[in-house]
Structure 1
Amino acid sequence: AGVGGNLAVKYIIGCQVDVGGVDLGFGGAIEFTGGMLSGLGLDGSLSLGLAPGQVAIVDITDKDLSDSGVAAVQLSQISFNLNKCGGYASARSAVKVIGAKGYSTDDGALSGEGTLIQSTLYGKPFSIG
């Protein structure tokens, strides 16, 4: 009792290759002369604009914990949609916990005197699709 704080859950998501620059085009032409088919033409193009993948940090929840000494957070059915991602994709959870006695996090700033502990816990990486 008397210890409050903050708990923030995030996911670190990475993609091997950004395939956002892929462009595919097709074209064709048919020629008729005197009602008869006299020519047929097809053309196409493929542009592969590949770039290195990116890593993003996605905020899931950020919860202030009261100083009653009891706190709980439950997450379920989290899904990820990775657009324009090619190759290997993975994610891992990260939980940042701050516990403090005599501190305040009002207005987004940490202030006060007393005991403060901060820790970041990382989950096991897992593959996405």
Structure 2
Amino acid sequence: MLRPVQLTLGSLVLAAHEPAHEFSKLSQASYTELHKITAQLEPALAKAFNYDKLNYLMLMMVDPDVHFHVIPRYAKTKYFNGLEFMDFGWPGAPDFHRSNETDAETNQHIIHYILSCWT
């Protein structure tokens, strides 16, 4: 899922399909699916936005269900759909206090572009 608040261009949320509040409580099937989806997700994001690093953060502070924040990281400013996207935390940890302003239309463009890069 696309993060509605884009910390960086292409920021996503990768959520488990089963209800679990602890990573260790996921089924073997979920771990197998995690391997499969990350093997597809990483090349799609790389093709779409040519990120410099990719961070997976499992914070689960607001939403207790098992999920990762998938944050592409960029050393330089990126441009998409006529907008400028900064990585405010680079080269350190992602800055969750600063984000890139997008609207619903831009978010839909980001989703469609990522999907067009998915194999």
Q: TM-score, normalised by structure 2?
A: 0.24
Q: TM-score, normalised by structure 1?
A: 0.23
**Greater strand fraction, Structure 1 or Structure 2:** 1
**Which structure would you say has the larger Rg?**
1
